[in-house]
Amino acid sequence: MVLVKKPFLMVNPKVYLFGDEIVQLAKVADKLAQKYQIDILFTGSLIDLPRIKAETSHLIITAQHMDAVNKGRGMGHVLPESLVAAGVQAVVLNHAENQLTLNVLAKTLKRAKEVGLYTIVCGDSIEECRAIAQLNPNMMICEPTSLIGTNKTSDDQYIIETIKAVKGINSNILILEAAGVSTGDDVKKVLRLGADGTGGTSGIVCADNWEKQLIEMINPLKLCQGGE
């Protein structure tokens, strides 16, 4: 299983990009991951992940979902073993746009761990983050659903309390605070408040210059890394 080093960045294009465009962004991120020696988790649609893997060398290739199925029957579901065979190293679960019940999440986490995938689980409220932490994922994305895609970051109290809630259950879980993060100042804020890393979607993919935008977000991470 991949080990993610903090501070880290997640580039999460969702389905804003596909095909040649998402590969182009992946190559930019790949170059910067090598240059700045920063762990970058890069997500993509399932159909794009093998090509992204083939055309990059320094990214942590991350699926946006998988299912708790085993080889055999399961039409239309995402088999964990197929992700591993395609070179995927991590998986995001329970995003606000693809939510799971706690029972299904627990089963899916179990399957991910069986095949050696690094598990990243999203949580909304402080209470939900605390409950999910008891399932012991490798990483959690803590962000209020209402702020996703708004360019408005979580307030200080939310960031502090979600980190406290998760770390109080399992201090080894890495925490990504990401809602609305799109600038270097946003990154500085979440790191100052205790996040292990951050990430973005629209703030990156909608930028006029992807490389410039990513460098702006990476610079505070690098400074934090240098201070560890």
- Residues 170, 200 contacting (CB under 8 angstroms): no
Say if CB 182 and CB 148 are below 8 A apart.
no
CA-based R_g, the chain, Å:
16
Active site residues: 95, 143
> Measured in whole angstroms, how far is the alpha carbon of residue 140 from the centre of its chain?
8
Cα 109 from Cα 111, distance rounded (Å): 5
List, in order, residues 6 or more apart from 143 with CB less than 8 Å away. Answer: 96, 122, 123, 124, 154, 177, 178, 179
